[in-house]
Amino acid sequence: MVARHLHITGKVQGVFYRATTKQEAERRGVAGWVRNCEDGSVEAHVEGSRIALDELVDRLSDGPPAARVAAVEAEDVDPQGCEGFSIKR
């Protein structure tokens, strides 16, 4: 299992980006969380197989139809032992 911290910039709030992230993560068996940041970006912590995380990051680079993703920065981090996937407020 590997883990990554993601920082997503662009038009990613108010466009169902967090809900899409949760849906795509669950589809791939990825655990973790996603939340909005005060600066208008989104951050996430994701854990799973390297292949699943690579697929998720690729999908998040597009985002939902109303999003305009400028960048997805991914940093390898230590797993936190997350179970399931949640949207943090």
Contacts of 51 (CB under 8 A, 6+ apart): none
Q: Tell me which of 36, 59, 68, 89 is the catalytic residue.
A: 36
Active site residue 18: yes
Q: Phi and psi (nearest 5°) for 64? A: -70, 165
**Residue 79 token pair:** 């797993």
Q: Tell me which of 18, 28, 35, 59 is the catalytic residue.
A: 18
Active site residue 27: no
Name the packing angle between helices 50-60 and 17-27 (round to 10°): 150
Alpha-carbon gap, residue 14 to 40, rounded angstroms = 10
Active-site positions read: 18, 36
